[in-house]
Amino acid sequence: MEANSAELALSKADLTQQLDLKSQQLEQLELQLSQQVQQHAELQTAHRQTTARVADLEDELDSAQQRHASQSAEIQTLEDQTAELAQTRTDLKQQLSEEAERASVLQSAHKQELQSSEELQKRLVSQAAAEETLNAHVTAQEAELSSERQRISGKYCCHTVC
pTM score? 0.34
Which stretch of 8-12, 21-25, 53-57, 150-154 has the lowest confidence by average pLDDT?
8-12
Which stretch of 3-12, 42-51, 55-64, 153-162 has the lowest confidence by average pLDDT?
153-162
Judging by beta carbons within 10 Å of its beta carbon (0-12, 13-18, 19+), is residue 51 exposed, middle or buried? middle
Residue-level pLDDT at 123: 93
Task: Specify the higher pLDDT residue, 38 or 7.
Answer: 38
Tens digit of each residue's pLDDT (9 = 90 or more) over 95-143: 889 999 999 999 999 999 999 999 999 999 999 999 999 999 999 999 9
- Report whether 75 contacts 103 (CB < 8 A): yes
Indicate the SS3 state at residue 57: helix
Angle made by CA atoms 18, 142, 151, in degrees to the nearest 5:
30
Q: What is the DSSP secondary structure assignment for residue 159, as one 8-state letter?
A: T
Q: Is 162 a residue whose pLDDT tops 50?
A: no
Average pLDDT estimate for 34-48: 95
User: Nearest Cα to 54, choosing from 117, 104, 12?
Assistant: 117
Indicate the SS3 state at residue 160: coil
